[in-house]
Structure 1
């Protein structure tokens, strides 16, 4: 299938300069652009910030709006004698800007639209040594930074960046490659495998700044480059490890968060399966049964399995897996199971009680919720309610008539209404009405997280600064806050109780004291106390 792309037309006049482009780089800068595509049957396709919903092919189309920066030299024999930095944008623009060591330089206004601008540095001196990026202005007002180019003016040359595509492993049917990206155009790239003196792959890139190497053996790889045949190679890249796997690693399977596992017969739901790479075939299973259900996709690495008009027998444990589009390729490992609980409400309601009996426990204590059914041999589900949603909080199949659910180290995020249901584990697969609810309230703020810098000393201007925020609650948004500022410097949502918060391309303007917190959005919107501060110092500041 082919589509026609209608890209934004070159502007006839200079657009209004976004504030983010006029000042120092802000972490909110993101890549992406909205484009309209016309495909067969007249279906329109809207690309929004890198993700497309395609009703024709049910696959995604990505358009990367980040610019590319590279260095061109007058002579590869003397690479630092006369240097020009070229910034290339994928869209027409009237404005380019170079950034050095995290600080925006003078904005360049063009008389006519262009997709490339050359910034001459000349002979590298102490004033022009540094870490460079570039950006350009878009009609949308958004902007994103290019790749990093290091100008040292000294030997050995700065290291390239080595990455894997699509994944850091090899298996039958998968063409894994290593991409070595440098900052100089026209160099020769060298790939080495650790511990193998006989292995050396060489690739020339006369018109490019990168080289791709196919990988057929597991090992630890690094790459470097040289400007001419007799020249010394650059510093090596960081090492990348390639594994050989007989079976690809598992995907992830998640349930529609609106119900998270508890449904009535006759309703519908969606399960999302996400693979670690794109262009694969997916399979949904209940036990060992392969299910043929409607599927949709908004991205080539995932699929939505649509379960419509659920019957009592549709409850149970689901898994998904994927396979490369090769009949001889093996199926991946199964995802972690996701369980659907179907209850028609025809069986008598169970009884739910709490221990200790107080419904306002102290933060940090253990609370047990006991669900008692009229008979044994059933499957219990503890249900938590909040913000108009009901989610299964836990599942147990005890030998007797009572299930004990534990809430450990409770905090304000555990405040909710709890109820329980039970279901048959064999036909006729009926389910109970819910128990009377138990309202649990935990006073006080969410526990304070801990913030750790993942660097020592002062941060080199132009490098990234990574801070790890360690919380106590999963499924939250972590926020990095700079002292004296209201807007967060970085935000990350994760299912884990900790996250790495990144300040990209640090400059002197980033120096200061930082704290982190986390926000729980379900069942209540709660913000934790802030961590103790961490000081970020920028070298030379």
Structure 2
């Protein structure tokens, strides 16, 4: 499992561990102050990742200060304004900055100033896309996408895979924007990604973020049932039932009218399940329906599909009935005295 440490939403470190990871700062300076959070992801599939933890604000105190914004206190002889320029700005210098002050005689630091966001205007890093509250959202609920980068003063665009028109566009002077979706419908399920650029029609956009899969739960649509090659099938042939719905990751069950036990059950991560019946016999003639549910013993199944009639045809079917009837009469004859049986 991979654990990633974020500062102001931007990855700064990662470690491989089973259940817990520690991130050590050997020599803390004022530049380490900021808002930290973390998340974990599957080592084999980085797309499978958790929601970021709650933010933890780290305040660094000491004699060396690096203020980038007024602390909110008026300048006095006791508390003069101090400036500390950043020369040769680097990508890692982008982020949120605050400043503090304290008196030499009082070792307790002041409250941090309001944060100041330093962004890069000529370097477009790959953005990150997250969702709140999580990527499994209930039908009719509220959720929001967050597209974040180290550059600001840009235009952010959210896309859904398979759709030409963007889900949303936000112009912002910050490095993080929100795309709110309210209320959530089943059509919101899918894969999303975002990118940004520095404004203007001719500006070059950034790379796309990693895709984020959104699954809308809490709805089970009525499935459809079809059969191939035809609902009229010859004795001894093969027939395949297809149960299909708009929900994925479900369990599909095929039933035949008049029978308690299902014809078959298929667990599928897709929106369609296949039930193959080979060597069709006369007993397969009848009415079939299917339904699905989201798995688990307590889950509520969907409505049944419309009934589908299957008819087994062919002369062999009639011959089979005659042979069966004849064999039955022969067995009865064998059990009776021969001088009593009249066939």
TM-score surpassing 0.5? no
TM-score normalised over the length of structure 1: 0.26
Q: Which structure features the higher share of strand residues?
A: 1
Q: Which structure features the higher share of helix residues?
A: 2
Larger radius of gyration: 2
